[in-house]
């Protein structure tokens, strides 16, 4: 068990063996990694545990640089466990390098069906019992998709929780994938309008880039294809605190100056690859729409819902923008089937992703009746016009969870937990304790 010291914090590695399928605990096991973080000098104190569930799906836990970000507040009161959810980070990996060992695409899809929130919560419960004992309880902090998992935890294993904090992650309990994207495209369009109002010069640059990509084949340094649609998907960053500014600086370096013919610069292409490649988090793409699959809501497949619903919003079509005077609109947190052709990290998983998109009868992730009688103290930060999670859905869910208290704010974007220096978490703690 490795122990590291960083400024203000002591970090300890943990690895747990968990069943691939919790319904059959005696069969195949995989590993789940977690990093314990405690304030310097408090290592031996009997502090309450705070489990952190990261956004995603498919995102590894944060890699702390000492006592930074929201840990500045958390370590005042808690011993924190940063979980690399199954398939991510230092847990047993699931990617283009490892999945072929499972067999063909059907075998890979069957394997990945065990990587949704219900399995993550079952992992957490097994880990809780090992660390705290059968009757021990811990606090839970869920960011974005981690908040979705928190609702699953409250639905099926509330006995393990003493309190829960959710930031930007109150999912719609009764929304299918098409509902999610039908609500998402207008929010993304609003974020586009805000960006172009802030940086009006970017409209011409974006049009020039899309026109160039439509007329030329452009490859990224990793061999992936930069198509107009791939360029549009850079809009995923528009829902974060600095995303609009980051996109602006990316665009201003798009073309190589003084080159005569329009030429996209190497620096631009390198940065774009960093934003678009799924090499570090392939499960985000492969499993993204499955997190909205619930048999009691719809027995149908998710079926590439973002692609299907996009046809209802023609303002996102680049040809329409180039033939008129409207701006090119960037897309948001949408996963499209073409990504499995243009991204080398995803291309080997194309057939697997297709099978998951066509899978029907996903098990439910939430229990509305249990949530309606919830007795675990819960606080949730709901960000006004959150680009990634619909605010109306979040407020409806808040009303459906007994005892849940909300803080609705436009002070922060979806990444408020990370960028607020502990202020968002402090507000959640105070809400749960009845101090506000």
Cα separations (Å) of 425 from 45, 59, 174? 22, 20, 27
* Angle, in degrees to the nearest 10, between helices 266-276 and 243-252: 150
Are 203 and 326 within 8 A, CB to CB?
Answer: no
Other Cβ atoms closer than 10 A to 159 = 11
Distance CA 257, CA 146 (A): 43
Whether 144 is a known active-site residue: answer: yes
Give me the torsion for CA of 237, 243, 248, 254, rounded to 10°: -40
**Phi, psi for 162 (deg, rounded to 5):** -95, -25
- For the residues of 393-434, what is the DSSP string, one character each? HHHHHHHHSTTEEEEEESSS-TTHHHHTTTHHHHHHHHHHTT
Residues near 165 by beta carbon (within 8 Å), at least 6 away in sequence: 139, 140, 141, 142, 378, 379, 380, 425, 428, 429, 432
Whether 386 is a known active-site residue: answer: no
- β-sheet bridge partners, residue 409: 383
Cα separations (Å) of 313 from 107, 182, 186, 246, 406? 36, 9, 8, 26, 32
Half-sphere exposure in the Cβ direction for 198 (13 Å, CA): 15
Residues near 188 by beta carbon (within 8 Å), at least 6 away in sequence: 235, 238, 329, 330, 331, 332, 387
Catalytic residue among 61, 119, 139, 144: 144
Give Cα 376 to chain centroid, integer Å.
24
Whether 414 is a known active-site residue: answer: yes
Q: What is the CA radius of gyration of the chain?
A: 22
- For the residues of 88-156, what is the DSSP string, one character each? STTSSB-STTTGGGG-SHHHHHHHHTT-SHHHHHHHHHHHHHHHH-TT--EEEEEETHHHHHHHHHHHH
Catalytic residue among 204, 266, 319, 361: 361
Catalytic residue among 118, 414, 415, 426: 414
Distance CA 226, CA 209 (A): 10
Residues involved in catalysis = 144, 361, 414
């Amino acid at each position: 068990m490795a122990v590291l010291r960083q400024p203000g914090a002591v970090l300890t590695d943990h690895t747990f063996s968990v069943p691939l399928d919790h319904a059959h605990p005696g069969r195949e096991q995989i590993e789940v990694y977690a990093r314990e973080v405690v304030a310097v000098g408090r290592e031996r104190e009997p502090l309450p545990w705070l489990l952190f569930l990261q956004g995603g799906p498919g995102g590894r836990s944060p890699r702390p640089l000492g006592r930074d970000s929201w840990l500045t507040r958390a370590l005042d009161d808690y011993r924190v466990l940063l979980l690399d959810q199954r398939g991510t980070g230092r847990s047993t990996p699931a990617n283009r390098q490892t999945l072929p060992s499972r067999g063909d695409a059907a075998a890979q899809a069957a394997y990945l069906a065990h990587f949704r929130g219900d399995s993550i919560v079952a992992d957490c419960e097994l880990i809780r019992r090992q660390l705290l004992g059968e009757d021990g309880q811990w606090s839970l902090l869920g960011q974005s998709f981690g908040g979705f998992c928190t609702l699953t935890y409250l639905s099926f294993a509330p006995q393990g929780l003493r309190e829960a904090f959710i930031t930007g992650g109150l999912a719609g309990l009764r929304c299918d994938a098409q509902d999610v994207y039908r609500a998402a495209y207008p929010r993304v369009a609003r974020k586009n309008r805000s960006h172009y109002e802030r940086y009006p010069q970017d409209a011409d640059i974006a049009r020039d880039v899309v026109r160039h990509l439509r007329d030329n084949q452009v490859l990224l340094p990793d061999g992936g294809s930069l198509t107009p649609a791939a360029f549009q998907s850079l809009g995923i960053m528009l829902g974060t605190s600095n995303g609009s500014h980051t996109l602006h600086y990316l665009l201003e370096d798009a073309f190589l100056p003084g080159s005569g013919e329009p030429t996209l610069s190497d620096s631009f292409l390198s940065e774009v690859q960093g934003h678009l490649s799924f090499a570090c988090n392939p499960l985000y793409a492969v499993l993204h729409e499955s997190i909205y699959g619930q048999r009691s809501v719809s027995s149908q497949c998710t079926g590439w819902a973002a692609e299907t619903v996009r046809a209802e919003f023609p303002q996102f079509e680049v040809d329409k923008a180039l033939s008129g005077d409207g701006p090119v609109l960037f897309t948001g947190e949408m996963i499209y089937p073409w990504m499995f052709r243009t991204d080398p990290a995803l291309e080997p998983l194309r057939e697997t992703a297709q099978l998951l998109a066509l899978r029907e009868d996903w098990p439910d992730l939430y229990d509305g009746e249990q949530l309606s009688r919830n007795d675990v103290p819960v606080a949730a930060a709901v960000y006004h016009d959150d680009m990634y999670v619909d605010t109306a859905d979040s407020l409806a869910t808040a009303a459906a969870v007994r005892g849940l208290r909300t803080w609705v704010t436009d002070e922060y974007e979806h990444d408020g937990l990370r960028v607020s220096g502990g202020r968002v978490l402090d507000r959640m703690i105070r809400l749960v304790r009845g101090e506000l």
